[in-house]
Amino acid sequence: MACDKNHSGLKAIMSSLPTDQGGVGRHKCAACAYEAGYHAGYDIDGTLSIDNVLINLEESQAGAQRHKSPHTAFALGYYNGVRQRTIDDN
Ligand SMILES: [Zn+2]
């Protein structure tokens, strides 16, 4: 089933990501992967790894996130989540 969330706020970030070269991630929603990574980084939730996130992701929808690498999206989301938490804590 294709993801039906509104990811319009992530368009610029999605456009900056590399295309997934194939494998299990190619048809998963990279925008959802980004949000899961951000959550994992912000909350330092060690149970949220890319592997257990990827398996539960919806299929990608048309738009900027189509065929983008969910692995990269998760990592970038994680990075931004940690960075934002650091800002919010100070
Ligand atoms: Zn999505």
DSSP 57: P
pLDDT tens, position by position, 54-79: 888 888 888 888 889 999 999 999 99
Dist. CA 32 → ligand 1 center (Å): 4
Q: 3-state DSSP call for residue 45?
A: coil
For residue 56, CA distances in Å to 16, 42, 66, 70, 83 come to 24, 20, 17, 12, 25
pLDDT of residue 39: 92
pLDDT band of residue 42 (cuts 50, 70, 90) is very high
Cβ–Cβ under 8 Å, residues 29 and 61: yes
Ligand 1 geometric centre to CA of 60 (Å):
6
For ligand 1, the distance from its centroid to the CA atom of residue 90, given in whole angstroms, is 31
Question: pLDDT tier at 45 (50, 70, 90 boundaries)?
Answer: low
Give the orientation angle of helix 70-89 with respect to helix 30-43, to 10 degrees. Answer: 30
Beta bridge partners of 28: 59
Query: How many angstroms does the Cα of residue 88 sit away from the middle of ligand 1?
Result: 26
Residues with CB under 5 A from ligand 1 (ion): 3, 5, 29, 31-32
Position 84 confidence tier, pLDDT thresholds 50, 70, 90: very high
